[in-house]
Amino acid sequence: MLRARVTTALILAPLALIVLFVLPPTGFAVAVGGIVLVAAWEWIRLCGGFQPLTRSVLLALFAVCLGGAYSLPAILVPNVLILGLLFWLATFFFVARYPISRSRLGQKKTKLLFGLLVLIPAYVALLYLRRHPLGDVLIALLVGVIWAADVGAFFVGTRYGRSKLKPAVSPGKSWAGAVGGIGFALIVAIMAGVWEDSRLMMSPRAWLVLLVISALTVVFSILGDLFESVMKREQGVKDSSSLLPGHGGVLDRIDSLTAAAPVFALLIHLTAWPIL
């Protein structure tokens, strides 16, 4: 298992870097859209009970939604990001009360709607960041913060994680891990800030906003991970699929990003960081 996990990571890492930082905007949109479409296929499977033909039709409809998201007028982008934020705020209360709240997860149609609210705002957010004048910096900050939070949560949680965060949803996550994740993420944010400060001379306010955005991004990334865990628990599966040996499915790799990206992009839009 470890060999498969490492091999898959060594293959995926350079591909991810190419998609995020090398491809032109159109290529980025197509590549990320393809990844999101695979995640949508996995989400449909997690909803359960659909025949193959129905799954194909649903996936085609989702592809149409992705096309609409790609063509979304710039003036409407903040609205979609706000919708994503509101969904994840509602999801927080659902996850916090699970399993008492499980009856509110609804039937298959409701779960499919949740899938749209998970994936479409995240796609719109990534497109917004890629089209931003500081697109490379912002995407690097978003991905770096999430990656650092994962690393910090693992090491700190392994060492000090006695008090569990939400054992009914994900027994492996702890409060210590969450705090460690935020701490590691803030270190990465400070490093990014030093880089930007060398070019733009950021104000004290910009530094404060950077740290707040980074911390909130991590909080929502944890929420995204927990919500996907709820979906998998309800379906009785460990992974969203077996597409990535040693890692599970695509959705397992981007669950944190689905919640973090819309919040991060909306905060960047509202604060105009780093020009403060």
Is residue 276 one of the residues assigned to a domain?
A: no
Is residue 91 one of the residues assigned to a domain?
A: yes
Positive or negative: CA dihedral 258, 158, 242, 6: positive
| pLDDT tens sequence across 142-190 | 999 999 999 999 999 999 988 999 988 988 899 999 999 999 999 999 9
Question: CA separation (Å) from 3 to 9, 33, 158?
Answer: 10, 29, 21
* Domain extent for 20: 2-271
Report the SS3 class of residue 244. Answer: strand
Is residue 32 one of the residues assigned to a domain?
A: yes
| pLDDT tens sequence across 226-249 | 999 999 988 888 888 877 776 678
Q: What pTM value is reported for the model? A: 0.94
Q: How many domains does the chain have?
A: 1
**Radius of gyration of the chain measured on its C-alpha atoms:** 18
Identity (one letter) of the amino acid at 212? V
